[in-house]
Amino acid sequence: MTEPQPFLALLGPPLRRAILRHYNPDSCVASSAIGLAILQELGFEARPLSVKALIANQAWVARAEREGHVPRNIDERERWYAEDGCHALGLGVPDRHDTTIHPLVNGLHVALLVQNKWLWDLSIDQATRPEHGIVIREPFLGDAGVSPHFRKWLRGQAQIMWTAPGHGLIVYTVKPRDGRYLEHPNWVANSPDAAKRRALAAEAILALRQAV
């Protein structure tokens, strides 16, 4: 078994492209299910995590550093946007106003924790907002295990932040009690798309084995 970090970095982009041929960008559950199947077949320890992700553009980061705080209310958030183009969005954050969103998926976002260290978010590209300077072209891969707050983070008691100089930041929070993905049609073994998920995983595993 190879080291997970370079392996995941190489596998992520082509795997995500293959997934997007069959699923929408907001396919976090299907993407994580396929990724998990591949990792388990190849002998990596991995498990799903329900998470919340905050993605902010560079203008937002610069303004927050200058002000010494994040926007404290809607009015301030809108003022920052009007003045500097500051923009941030969240994944895994429930929309309490849109009643058309099914409760199973409202505020649901799933990623993988690999080798109890690497956070691998295969569907983070759904947060791309080029009009706001947020362009995400490949899955997120971050070393969560190096954080001194890792254990508290897993319990949902801390956040871990990664910065991309010149591009912004991303902050992840674990939601340890949110197991709704276990009931999602893109996760359960007997759903209509289960065969498609298995085929995508098998295709990726075959390609990996032929490459070595």
Q: What is the CATH number of the domain that holds 101?
A: 3.10.550
Query: Residue 185 sits in which domain range?
Result: 4-211
SS3 71: coil
How many folded domains does the chain comprise?
1
pTM: 0.93
What pLDDT was estimated at residue 197?
Answer: 97
What pLDDT was estimated at residue 212?
Answer: 63
Beta strands in the chain (DSSP E): 46-57, 88-91, 110-114, 118-121, 140-143, 159-164, 168-174
pLDDT digits (tens, 9 = 90+) for 57-68: 999 999 999 999
pLDDT mean over 80-98: 93
Tell me the one-letter amino acid at 133: G
